[in-house]
Structure 1
Amino acid sequence: MPEVHLAIGNRFTQFKGAAAAYAAFADATAEQLYTEFRNNLSRFSSRKKLPTTKKQFISQYVSELRDFNTAGVVAAHHGTPLSKMRQDY
């Protein structure tokens, strides 16, 4: 089974989006992940159509989770991978 890596940032403001400092950190993380993607494609899950731009990469591989602590507890309670969580949980 291939190794799976997940980068999670946990500083999301629920009502106004990411706080400015967190947004800068998240952007830098996405940039680093995109660089890693271009250099080591095998470290990322395959897609039917691979992204060719940073914007496409972010839309396919990066997402924000609101209140990760709650999402993590609910995912564990339900035995549901975070990638399969629905918004209404």
Structure 2
Amino acid sequence: MACSIYQLVPASYYLAARFSDDFESAVLHAINGGGHNMARAMLTGALVGAQVGLSAIPQRFIDGLADGEELVSMTKQVAELSNKITL
């Protein structure tokens, strides 16, 4: 996959749609695409993570993160706040 932003963003949206219920597959396909794979994987992971929720992200992905416990805590706080928003 190409590196330019005008191709990176659509590729991330495509992967998020194709693997909308499978966080691991979405992120791994983004990483294995070459080019700016970290940027594509980050955006893809954010999109799919928002769709599937924290419980669908493999624990081994979280365990290896620097400050993983703090990130999970912040994620839960954001989720709680978003549940309070009424449109």
TM-score (norm 1): 0.29
More strand by share: 1
Report 1 or 2 for greater relative contact order, CA contacts < 8 Å, sequence distance ≥ 6.
1
More helix by share: 2
